[in-house]
């Protein structure tokens, strides 16, 4: 049986750890040629590259800070030089710089918006240019290109102490929907994944100790933290033709976090 992403080039930003690494491995298993983007840790990116290669997959690593217009443009140039095109973008790179709102510095605000939101804009813009240039290649996919934005449950759940992060993800939601609407007629699909709590370096404080883990579980009806594989499976589906009629949605992968578990016993 043909694998779901056979012969397609997939760029995954921030793929040297956590969710991005999980998506990169899941895509490679489905036959995609994977670009592992990283910004600062070549060793970690190489480790993911080797894991993919030893499982029989195809991948390269490319360094770029997604918040830099020039570095993003250069990253795409390098991908086109090596592999000719790009079929799938997973806009995954992101970070938190937490602070009480009245103490938040402009730098903490700008850095989170610059990477989590402007970074997604820059990477999506270059991907869309290439999708429009190339159009549909029917042997590869029904779509001219697919973009998956890594959002969060915090595109809808407010988050005290994290106003910069929640604002960036609220922005990602409208960025995703606006470009989905703009390019659907050109057979380009744009969707988001909204993870709940996934066990990665970004939120280690929330699962590190038994006490913090028990506290976290109060927010998760399924009573387990999510793993990068949970997101990998959802991302494969959104990137493949199995979801060809799905456009402009956020697929929440959160163990039921958005079910307001605080109301389980009537609040
Ligand atoms: P992570 O820290 O393991 O991964 C984030 C990656 O982004 C890292 O590899 C980091 O090096 C990279 N990155 C940071 N700044 C970058 C830049 N300027 N250019 C390129 N890469 C950069 O954390 P994660 O949990 O895997 O996060 C991945 C995405 O998932 C983020 O967008 C995050 O907001 C989102 N998310 C995570 C959770 C969770 O519970 N882990 C929940 C909701 C959303």
The predicted model gives 144-164 an average pLDDT of 98
Any atom of ligand 1 within 6 Å of the Cβ of 232: no
> How remote is the CA of residue 128 from the centroid of ligand 1, in Å?
22
Domain count, the chain: 1
197-223 burial, b if ≥16 CB within 10 A, otherwise e?
Answer: bbbbebbeeebeeeeeeeebbebbbee
Question: Is residue 48 assigned to a domain?
Answer: yes
pLDDT tens for 197-251 read 999 999 999 999 999 999 999 999 999 999 999 999 999 999 999 999 999 999 9
Nearest CA to ligand 1 atom 39: 198
The predicted model gives 18-42 an average pLDDT of 98
Looking at ligand 1, which atom is closest to the CA of residue 201?
3
Question: What is the pLDDT of the chain when averaged over all its residues?
Answer: 97
Residue 113 neighbours by CB under 8 Å, 6+ apart: 164, 167, 168, 171
Inform me whether the pLDDT recorded for 258 exceeds 80: yes
Question: Is residue 3 assigned to a domain?
Answer: no
The predicted model gives 4-28 an average pLDDT of 98
Inform me whether the pLDDT recorded for 95 exceeds 70: yes
Please give the residue range of the domain that contains residue 234: 9-253
Any atom of ligand 1 within 6 Å of the Cβ of 92: yes
> How remote is the CA of residue 211 from the centroid of ligand 1, in Å?
24
Any atom of ligand 1 within 6 Å of the Cβ of 197: yes
Question: Is residue 264 assigned to a domain?
Answer: no
Place 100 in a pLDDT band, splitting at 50, 70 and 90.
very high
pTM of the model: 0.98
Query: In this structure, are residues 23 and 232 in contact, taking their beta carbons and an 8 Å threshold?
Result: yes
Nearest CA to ligand 1 atom 6: 14
Write the CATH number for 53.
Answer: 3.40.50.720
Nearest CA to ligand 1 atom 17: 65
The pLDDT assigned to 1 comes to 80
Distances (CA, A) of 199 to 90, 138, 139, 203, 263: 19, 37, 36, 7, 25
Inform me whether the pLDDT recorded for 266 exceeds 80: no
> How remote is the CA of residue 21 from the centroid of ligand 1, in Å?
10
> How remote is the CA of residue 2 from the centroid of ligand 1, in Å?
31
Show which residues are catalytic.
165
Nearest CA to ligand 1 atom 18: 65
Looking at ligand 1, which atom is closest to the CA of residue 231?
30
Inform me whether the pLDDT recorded for 176 exceeds 70: yes
pLDDT tens for 50-84 read 999 999 999 999 999 999 999 999 999 999 999 99
pLDDT tens for 102-126 read 999 999 999 999 999 999 999 999 9
Question: Is residue 109 assigned to a domain?
Answer: yes
> How remote is the CA of residue 171 from the centroid of ligand 1, in Å?
16
Question: Is residue 4 assigned to a domain?
Answer: no
The pLDDT assigned to 181 comes to 98
* Percentage of residues of the chain with pLDDT beyond 90: 97
Pocket test for ligand 1, best of 14, 194, 206 (most atoms within 8 A of CB): 14
174-185 burial, b if ≥16 CB within 10 A, otherwise e?
Answer: ebbbebbeebee
The pLDDT assigned to 267 comes to 65
Residue 29 neighbours by CB under 8 Å, 6+ apart: 3, 55, 57
pLDDT tens for 179-201 read 999 999 999 999 999 999 999 99
The pLDDT assigned to 132 comes to 98
Question: Is residue 81 assigned to a domain?
Answer: yes
The predicted model gives 138-160 an average pLDDT of 98
């Amino acid at each position: 049986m043909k694998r779901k992403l056979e012969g397609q080039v997939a760029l995954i930003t921030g793929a040297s750890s956590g969710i991005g690494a999980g998506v990169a491995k899941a895509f490679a298993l489905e036959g995609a040629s994977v670009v592992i983007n990283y910004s600062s840790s070549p060793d970690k990116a190489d480790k993911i590259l080797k894991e993919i290669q030893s499982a029989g997959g195809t991948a390269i690593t490319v360094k770029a800070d997604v918040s830099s217009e020039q570095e993003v443009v250069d990253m795409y140039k390098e991908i086109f030089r090596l592999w000719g095109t790009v079929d799938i973008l997973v806009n995954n790179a992101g970070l938190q710089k937490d602070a009480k709102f009245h103490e938040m510095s402009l730098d903490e605000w700008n850095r989170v918006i610059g990477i989590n939101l402007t970074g997604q804009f820059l990477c999506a813009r270059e991907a869309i240019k290439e999708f429009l240039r190339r159009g549909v290649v029917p042997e590869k996919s029904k779509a001219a290109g697919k973009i998956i934005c890594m959002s969060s449950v915090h595109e809808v759940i407010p988050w005290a102490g994290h106003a910069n992060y929640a604002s960036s993800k609220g922005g990602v939601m409208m960025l995703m929907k606006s470009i989905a609407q703009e390019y659907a007629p050109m057979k380009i699909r744009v969707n988001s994944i909204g993870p709940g709590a996934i066990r990665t370096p970004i939120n280690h404080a929330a699962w590190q100790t038994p006490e913090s883990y028990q506290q976290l579980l109060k927010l998760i009806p399924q009573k387990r933290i999510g793993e990068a594989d949970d997101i990998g499976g959802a991302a494969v589906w959104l990137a493949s033709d199995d979801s060809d009629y799905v456009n402009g949605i956020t697929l929440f992968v959160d163990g039921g976090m958005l079910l307001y578990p605080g109301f389980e016993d009537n609040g």
